[in-house]
Amino acid sequence: MAIELNRDNYETEVLKSKECVLVDFWGPQCRPCLSLMPAVERLEHTYTGKMKVGKVNASENRMLCARLKVMSLPTFLIYVNGEESNRLIGDGVTEKDLIAAVEAVLR
């Protein structure tokens, strides 16, 4: 199950993580976000033990989104050793794009 991230646990769960982390910024009114949720869940299961997945409900975490410069949804951030290594933005993001981005950092 993806970790529910917020301003209180983002540093610990993402920035201090020894694992690669995929962070999904989504919103309950964002259709592309909702349509990608099953893909994100598949990624989580496929890469168990190699990567962790976190979700940020953007409507409940506006300050965190502003701090991270997340301006549109969906946005996916990939972190390696606490550093952002990739950012995928917009309703054009596909499951294939997510897989390619994750595979690139796990090699």
> What is the pLDDT, as a whole number, of residue 96?
97
The third-level CATH classification (topology) of the domain covering 3-106 is Glutaredoxin (3.40.30)
Tens digits of per-residue pLDDT, 38-69?
Answer: 999 999 999 999 999 999 999 999 999 999 99
Confidence band of 19 (pLDDT split at 50, 70, 90): very high
Name the H helices within the chain.
10, 31-46, 62-67, 95-106
> What is the pLDDT, as a whole number, of residue 1?
82
Please count the other Cβ atoms lying within 10 Å of the Cβ belonging to residue 106.
Answer: 12
Q: Is residue 89 scored above 90 in pLDDT?
A: yes
Average pLDDT value for the chain:
97
Q: Is residue 107 scored above 90 in pLDDT?
A: no
Residue in 52, 53, 48, 89 with CA at minimum distance from that of residue 68: 89
Domain limits, the chain: 3-106
Which residues are part of the catalytic machinery?
30, 33
